[in-house]
């Protein structure tokens, strides 16, 4: 049977996984609940590696990622499961400098998608579509959770989680901004203050 044709990236991922399996070793014995009892909500940005910037090994912690590291309904769903069923007791919300979510608005992405679905170009100031046609108006009806002020977004997200009725009051929630120029996470003190345990 011949191998199915795969893209370069697809093959690279399978090769990397084969190498990982070869050294997987005693990780087969890891418990399902995170051993260090905490969770991180952070951005999907490819420059951020929570395992490295926060010192995680397999089995240590939950990492929930989305565009911006925003406290969306689905992020909160994961956090509630993380505590209620898997025992995490402290949470971090970690946004970052130079986030792509600062580079557009709901109106901009709505207009781009309405025109065309292919990847848009960014010249440092403005987004534009290299191709036109076959777009979809649906994007105008989505709240994209863009970011205009980094510190404010961390405070908002920590507050939203803190105030959620399904989040236990004893869980402290810390707010940080990762600096993509240094790798350092800097605390947003007003966010951590807003996220302090209430019981």
Two tokens, residue 110: 């709505």
Q: In the range 74-133, which residues lie near Zn ion by CB under 5 A?
A: 99
Stretch that binds Zn ion, among 35-43, 58-66, 122-130, 135-143 (CB under 5 A): 35-43
Interface residue with Zn ion among 39, 40, 41, 43 (CB under 5 A) is 43
Q: Residue 49: how many CB atoms within 10 A of its CB? A: 13
Q: What's the closest the beta carbon of residue 146 comes to Zn ion, in angstroms? A: 11
Q: What's the closest the beta carbon of residue 96 comes to Zn ion, in angstroms? A: 5
Coil, strand or helix at 112: helix
Phi and psi at 91, nearest 5°, equal -130, 145
Q: How far is residue 194's CA from residue 173's CA, in Å, rounded to a whole number?
A: 8
Interface residue with Zn ion among 41, 45, 92, 185 (CB under 5 A) is 45
Nearer to Zn ion, 43 or 64 (CB): 43
Stretch that binds Zn ion, among 19-27, 38-46, 171-179, 187-195 (CB under 5 A): 38-46
CB 62 within 8 A of CB 84: no
Q: Of all residues in the chain, what percent are helix, strand and coil, respectively (each to 5)?
A: 35, 15, 45
Q: Which residues bind Zn ion (CB under 5 A)?
A: 43, 45, 99
């Amino acid at each position: 049977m011949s191998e199915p044709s795969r893209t370069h990236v697809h093959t690279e991922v399978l090769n990397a996984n084969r190498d990982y399996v070869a050294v997987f070793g005693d990780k087969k014995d890891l418990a399902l609940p995170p051993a260090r009892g905490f969770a991180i909500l952070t951005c999907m940005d490819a420059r951020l590696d929570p395992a490295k910037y926060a010192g995680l090994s397999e089995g240590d912690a939950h990492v929930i990622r989305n565009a911006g590291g925003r406290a969306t309904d689905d992020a909160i769903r994961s956090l509630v499961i993380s505590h209620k069923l898997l025992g995490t007791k402290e949470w971090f919300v970690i946004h970052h400098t130079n986030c792509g979510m600062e580079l557009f608005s709901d109106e901009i992405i709505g207009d781009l998608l309405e025109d065309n679905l292919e990847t848009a170009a960014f010249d440092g100031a403005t987004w534009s579509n290299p191709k036109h046609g076959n777009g979809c108006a649906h994007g105008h009806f989505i709240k994209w959770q863009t970011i205009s002020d980094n510190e404010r977004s961390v405070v908002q997200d920590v507050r939203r989680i803190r105030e959620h009725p399904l989040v236990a009051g004893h869980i402290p929630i810390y707010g940080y901004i990762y600096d993509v120029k240094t790798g350092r996470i800097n605390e947003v003190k007003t966010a951590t203050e807003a996220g302090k345990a209430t019981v």
